[in-house]
Amino acid sequence: MMKIEIKDLTHVYDVEVLSQLNVTLENYRSVALIGISGSGKSTLLRILSGLEKPTRGEVFLNSQDVTEDEHRKSVGFVFQSHNLFPHLSLLKNITLILEKTRGYTPEAAKSQALKYLDMLQLSDQVHKLPRNVSGGQAQRASIARALSLNPDTIFLDEPTSALDPILTHEVLTAIKELRGLGKNFVFVTHVMSFVKDFADYVIFMQDGRIVEQGEPKQMLEQPKTKELQDFMEKVH
Ligand code: ADP
Ligand code: MG
């Protein structure tokens, strides 16, 4: 279960892209960030995961300050496109990181990598290069790689935005099957059926602000704000 505390978070690039965000949530397992492109979802996800330091404000995940190095070790990140090393097999993509960054022996790294590749139903693809598997398989391998680092929390930023509808379905089904693992998930997606099935808390953003937040059924079926009502009409 996850606890997120965001206090007066503001983030500035050349302009302010997140403005005075406040979130307090506890005992949720899977949090969705939704909103139109440019609303600040990826920036918030990067800050929560520790990939980027906020300009102002405080952010805690499970009571840990996300700007501390220690936090980075407890999270995994899955990007829009798979970002696997192109010259390494799916298996090597995972074992290399486990050996280089986590001190695994080659044998232990292989067994850990195969465990998660198998979980993502890639047992028969492990020796292939990323370009020789489908986009959905490559993205599932990225998810296996993130999981193999034993994170408490997995962040996914539009993990299916580069995929066609069939592969999107395949990857989202695979993610849903991870529910029993006891991990926490924070994700950005435009697939509202997935939000409904998988999220237990939803944050709707617009123009760098949180406009509405709450549990998915209420948010998606009875949006309170005009902004979320308009958004729901556009995504359907
Ligand atoms: P979303 O993920 O909702 O599409 P982003 O968080 O990517 O939104 O972007 C929010 C705003 O911040 C956008 O206006 C975008 O152009 C800007 N932005 C994002 N990343 C950077 C960056 N590294 N440098 C400058 N501006 C950025
Ligand atoms: Mg984004």
Atom nearest to 37 CA in ligand 1: 4
Query: What is the total residue count of the chain?
Result: 236
Amino acid 122: pLDDT: 97
CB count in 10 Å sphere of residue 58? 13
Specify the pairing of strand 153-157 against strand 184-188. Answer: parallel
Atom nearest to 39 CA in ligand 1: 3
Rounded to the nearest angstrom, the distance between the alpha carbon of 37 and the centre of ligand 2 is 6
Task: Identify which of 198, 228, 232 has the alpha carbon closest to the alpha carbon of residue 213.
Answer: 228
Atom nearest to 36 CA in ligand 1: 3
Amino acid 191: pLDDT: 95
Amino acid 201: pLDDT: 97
Amino acid 45: pLDDT: 97
Residue 100 neighbours by CB under 8 Å, 6+ apart: none
Q: Which residues surround ligand 2, an ion (CB under 5 A)?
A: 42
Secondary structure of residue 203 in the 3-state scheme: strand
Rounded to the nearest angstrom, the distance between the alpha carbon of 98 and the centre of ligand 2 is 28
Q: In what order do the strands lie in the sheet with 75-78?
A: 75-78, 153-157, 184-188, 30-34, 201-206, 209-214
37 lines ligand 1 (CB under 6 A): yes
Task: Identify which of 145, 187, 144 has the alpha carbon closest to the alpha carbon of residue 29.
Answer: 187
Encode the chain (236 residues) as per-residue pLDDT tens digits.
999 999 999 999 999 999 999 999 999 999 999 999 999 999 999 999 999 999 999 999 999 999 999 998 899 999 998 889 999 999 999 999 999 999 999 999 999 999 999 999 999 999 999 999 999 999 999 999 999 999 999 999 999 999 999 999 999 999 999 999 999 999 999 999 999 999 999 999 999 999 999 999 999 999 999 999 999 999 87
Amino acid 148: pLDDT: 96
